[in-house]
Structure 1
Amino acid sequence: MKNKGFGLLGLFAPILFGVAYLLMASQRPEYSFLTKAISELGSVDAPNKWYWNVFGYILPGVLISIFSIGLYKSMAQRPSSRLPLTGIFFSGLFMAISGIFPGDFDDRTSTTMILHSIGSFGCYLFFLMGAFTYPKLMRESKYWKAAIVPSLTLVWLTVVFGSWPFVFTEMPGLGQRIVFLLYFLWIAINAFKLYNYKPINK
């Protein structure tokens, strides 16, 4: 697959997630984006849970994992650390895992809830690993240097807004949505650059 193909897959992931979220949330009048977790759209007792888990988590996660391969290949022109590739690849994989195992918010000690939580936290932790290590690889390419500042800005903002639920306890859901938005913006910005990738002499 060429860079444009990998780039399109990366761009499609946030679009798919966003459309699935808007459609599924609109069918739940009682669902509040201020207080409810995004995962509750696909919880064990949610109506049409598999629509959300497949189109909101599993497919976007798989697309991100595939996109990560092309992103890494476009920068790693010589032997280098695989932490950036590993981080984003497993971030997508763990997102898919969180969709395979719906959350049980009435029994947080259940096996499916534990596996769902592992998927959710794993997705974010691997993202941090990949997003914080990519700048070193980006510095080796004239084309990718321009992506360093926006990429690092977005990842640091996810850390800042990750503390939202502990500060604004009455509306924890809003903070989670901001973190998801920043996460997918990171994917989209780098996917767009990959789509338009043109090698520049180093």
Structure 2
Amino acid sequence: MTNKKYALIGFLAPAIFWTTYFIMANQRTEYSFLTKAVSELGSLDAPNKWIWNIFGYIVPGLLIAVFSVGLYRSIVQEIGSKLPLYGIFLSGVFMAISGIFPGDFENRQSTIMLLHSVGSMGSYLFFLIGAFTYPKPMKKTVKWKSVVKPLLLLTWLTIGIGVWPFVFIEYPAVGQRIVFLLYFSWICIAAYTLYKNPNTKYEAV
């Protein structure tokens, strides 16, 4: 598959996520982006929960996993650590897992809620692994060196926004939306840079 095809797959992930989010959120008058978690669109008691879980988490997660393969092949030109690949790949896989197991917000100690949380937290933690290990190989390539600082900035901002619920107690969910925005911005910048690279076709790893 070519760089451009991998890049388009990368662009599709945030496009599908945000389109599904705005459609689903606007269908529920009681749903507030200020106080409700994104996952509550697909919670066990939510109407049309599988629409959100499939198109909000599972499909975007799997697209990110596929995109991560092309991203790694474009950046890493020599044998080295595969942590960048594993990080972004597993971030997508765990996002999909969070959709397979809908959150039970009425019983946060339940097994299904635990599995949902593992998917959500796992997706973010693996993203950090990928995002913090990519700068080293990126700096070795002229085409990728210019995006190292913007991507690192986005990564650090996701960590900084983690204090949002403790500072803005009345609007705890806004911080989560910002983190999603930063996360998908990282994916979009990487996808755009990949799209501009030569239209190389890769063989299987």
Could you list the structure 1 runs, at least 4 aligned residues long, displaced by more than 3 angstroms after superposition: none
Name the amino acid aligned to 2:126.
Answer: F
Aligned length: 199
Counterpart of 1:102 in structure 2 is: 102
Query: CA shift at 1:80, angstroms?
Result: 1.2
Instruction: Flag structure 1 segments of 5+ consecutive residues without an equivalent.
Output: none
Question: What is the CA–CA distance in structure 2 between the aligned matches of 1:47 and 1:157, rounded to whole Å?
Answer: 33
TM-fit CA distance, 1:40? 0.1
SS of 2:134's equivalent in the other structure is helix
Question: Residue in 1 aligned with 2:15?
Answer: 15
Task: Work out whether residues 3 and 198 of structure 2, in 8 Å CA contact, stay in contact via their aligned partners in 1.
Answer: no
Residue type of the partner of 1:170?
A: E
> 1:155 touches 1:182 (CA, 8 Å); kept in 2?
yes
**Per the alignment, in what secondary structure is the counterpart of residue 175 of structure 1?**
helix
- Residue 198 of structure 1: how far off its partner (Å): 3.1
Q: Contact 2:10 / 2:67 at 8 angstroms: preserved in 1?
A: yes
What CA deviation, in whole Å up to 9, does each residue of 1:22-80 have, x standing for no partner? 00000011100000000000000000000000000000000000000000000111101
Kindly provide the amino acid, as one letter, of the partner of residue 182 in structure 2: L
Q: Which amino acid aligns with 2:9?
A: L
Provide structure 2 residue ranges, at least 5 long, that are not aligned to the other structure. 200-205
1:70-109 correspondence runs (5 A): 70-109=70-109
- What is aligned with 1:29? 29
- What TM-score do the two structures reach when normalised by structure 1? 0.97
* Distance across 1 between alignment mates of 2:112 and 2:99: 10
2:167 is matched with which residue?
167
Shift of residue 144 of structure 1?
Answer: 0.4
| Residue 57 (str. 1) matches residue 57 (str. 2) | yes
Q: Percent identity?
A: 63
2: CA distance, partners of 1:28 / 1:137: 45
Secondary structure of 1:12's partner?
A: helix
The CA RMSD over aligned residues, in Å, is 0.9
Tell me the equivalent position of 2:140. 140
The CA deviation at 1:111 is 0.9
Match for residue 129 of structure 1? 129
TM-score, normalised on structure 2? 0.96
The one-letter code of the counterpart of 2:35 is T
Q: Which amino acid letter does the alignment assign opposite residue 36 of structure 2? A: K
